Structure 1
Amino acid sequence: MKFTINTYHLIIILIAILCIVYYPHFFGEPVSNGTAYIIENTSKPIDPDIPADLPHNKYIVLKEKTQHVRDIKNGDWYHGSGTQFGYIIGTDEALICDTCTVANTKLEAVGKKQYYITLPGWLLKQDANHDWYIDSTRFYVEKEQSYVRKPVVDRAKKTGRDWYYKTHFMNTPVKFRYNREKNCVMIPVTKLTKQICSYIIFGLGVLFVVCWFALIIEFVKFVISLSKGLAFTEINITRLLIIALGLIAIPVMDFLLTLIMRLIFSSYLTNDVKLNAAVYSNSWQTLCGGIVFLMLFKAFKQGKALKEENELTV
């Protein structure tokens, strides 16, 4: 009876974890209530406006060119070599050019290398491509200074079911850079620092692979032992516990180390940076696997106790 109660508790924990993981996906987005926005942009445009009366083909070419220039001004173009360790930390390098314009035909030729430590677990709260959200942010670099542009509400008025906001934009200087493609924060560093971090990350990656192989080997040994009829043995119970704790520890450590990165680079980050939901939503499978093996551990431990009790009775 004790084993049944413990298993029941573990199942409840598993269901709770799944609810926590999937709650944002099903209920995180508010239902549209007809909210309207009036945006008054009192700041100069980040990039030159593209004339709307251009032929469609020329408009598309100029739009792509403008985005290309913005990427290289932001130091987020032509990525070089880099490493990454889960959502915890990584390295990258890209070209940056503050004087590039759409008139340049070879932007890469005038750019210089910039090296980064990347934080894949952290992103801007709302990195929107337009300004029609009250909580939207736009990252850009001007004269090698990074800024986050966001609306500030001057007045809010409710008419019926609709809210009307009058806003202006505020440009906040920040120390970090931003990878638009991967949606993650980047910390500018020297080439030497980037190389040292790459070696450390490579070492962590090797250690991570070794840990996974160790868990796989323990599982294979467990299966071989079962095939020989040696189910309820002390070594098998230990193997199940090792596998369970390993599978639970991997996502927990990933989450905790991602939070530690925020503390380490707290002087670079602002309140506009938030935790990437993928840090925990992509790890629930491993966590559930660990709980399953923990349940097997309890079952085999109880089975071993019953087996020893029967042998004593005989």
Structure 2
Amino acid sequence: MCVRLAATALAMLVTLPLTVPAAAQQDLFQDRLGGPLPSPSITTPNLPPALPSAEPDAQLSLSALLSGPGTPLRQGLAWRVYEDRGDGTKPSIIARSGEAEPHFTLAPGTYVATVTYGFASASKRIVMGGQPTTETLRVAAGALKLSGAVGDQKIPPAQVLFSVFVPVGTNSEGRLVRSGIKTGELLRLPEGTYHVVSTYGESNAIQRADLRVENGKVTEATLNHRAATVTLKLVAAAGAEAFAGTAFSVLTPGGDTIREAIGAFPQVTLAEGDYVLIARHDGQVYTREFKVESGLDRDIEVVAKSG
């Protein structure tokens, strides 16, 4: 009986810690840790800061002025916007406009804006950062306006054309800017000196001049030719009707061919000087020497002499 009592008492001792109140257990842990238990957090866990929102597209507004006088340019403009990736590759065109003051909507980034005014141009590097941006480009340019004359008489626009060159070294016609320029046409150019060639007719009536273009100014020039237009005829007698289908050749006294033409009375514009005219008709060849005097337009007849 004593044995049973001891076993029961042992069982009671073993089960006692399992019935310790919660408050007592907390006091026990406080004693061991040296302070109160931390309260559980109910706040949001610490997260990385949110990334800033992407910058929006923004408007780029452009305009152009003439260097020097600062005159706004309102027409004749060609705008291009290039994306500058900064990796050494050729920039790609992303927008164009022919307006005087264009507006482009662009994403954040680096761009190059260019404007062309005739043969003059300007460019500017622009950084877009999500805010509207306004830029003005200054174009260093002037213009040429050309015409031709013989003495005091203006050459009809349809009969004269001009070519403009940039001199390179000692070569006045080093680089062609443009050919086929008509009388009165406004040719916009960067500031500098240019070599102008005027061709009257389709032969050797040619005049040349060096002209200076200044920023913001129009250089007007008239190139004066010493030439005349002659009408070629093969006739049986002076003043008679011309033979149709005649082949003409105009040569210098040294034998160089200046112009060839076929017809009853073709017209040829020639620089003043001495010439030889050869007329061929029905297997026969006829010749005549003649002289061209500046500003004196006239008929040049070759008489077909028999025998």
One fold, TM greater than 0.5?
Answer: no
Provide the TM-score with structure 2 as the length reference. Answer: 0.23
Larger Rg: 2
Provide the TM-score with structure 1 as the length reference. Answer: 0.22
Structure richer in helix, relative to its length:
1
